[in-house]
């Protein structure tokens, strides 16, 4: 029998498996593109949400600071006005002024405490949202990795393909005795 040179063997491989390999490579390429696009989309979504949350938290904190400052300024102005009126009424009312100053101090402490509590609440909510976004991102990433792994497992085993091509080559060249195959354990 006439021997087959390397070029003809490549043509036989291409005829037998070329379409499948091209389809498989195209499928992997599309999956890779899809995975990349989805991961980029998730990253951008997480960044947008984080940026939006950060802007919201900054605005809320600034609003609380502004409100607290205005309330403190109003409290100070009111205290000064009351102090002036009390001084005009006479020295006998000094005890009432001290009590009023204590109440204003407590009110200021309450406002400060309320502001701290609100800030902490906003920060806790931001952390919870960030953790939720990270969890969703990891879930999506794991799902995409599992899908890629399933595709890798579904591809043709190279060793089996190599054995098949060797056997075909031996059959074509006549070097393989077909009776040996019947004796071969399966």
How high is the pLDDT of residue 119?
92
How high is the pLDDT of residue 1?
40
Model confidence over 43-72: pLDDT tens digits? 999 999 999 999 999 999 999 899 888 888
How high is the pLDDT of residue 163?
85
Model confidence over 147-157: pLDDT tens digits? 888 877 766 67
DSSP class per residue in 17-80: HHHHHHHHHHHHHHHHHHHHHHHHHHHHHHHHHHHHHHHHHHHHHHHHHHHHHHHHHHHHHHHH
Question: Where along the chain do its domains lie?
Answer: 11-153
Top pLDDT among 53 and 176 is at: 53
């Amino acid at each position: 029998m006439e021997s087959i040179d390397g070029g003809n063997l490549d043509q036989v491989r291409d005829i037998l498996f070329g379409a499948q390999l091209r389809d498989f490579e195209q499928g992997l390429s599309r999956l890779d593109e899809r995975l990349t696009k989805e991961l980029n989309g998730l990253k951008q979504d997480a960044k947008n949400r984080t940026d939006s949350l950060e802007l919201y938290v900054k605005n809320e904190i600034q609003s609380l600071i502004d409100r607290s400052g205005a309330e403190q300024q109003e409290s100070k102005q009111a205290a000064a006005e009351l102090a002036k009126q009390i001084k005009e009424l006479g020295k006998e009312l000094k005890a009432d002024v001290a009590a009023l100053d204590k109440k204003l101090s407590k009110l200021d402490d309450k406002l400060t405490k309320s502001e701290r509590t609100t800030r902490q609440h906003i920060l806790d909510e931001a952390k919870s949202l960030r953790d939720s976004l990270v969890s969703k991102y990891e879930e999506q990433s794991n799902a995409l990795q599992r899908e890629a792994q399933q595709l890798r497992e579904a591809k043709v085993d190279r060793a089996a393909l190599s054995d098949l091509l060797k056997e075909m080559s031996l059959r074509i060249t006549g070097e393989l005795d077909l009776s040996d195959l019947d004796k071969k354990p399966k």
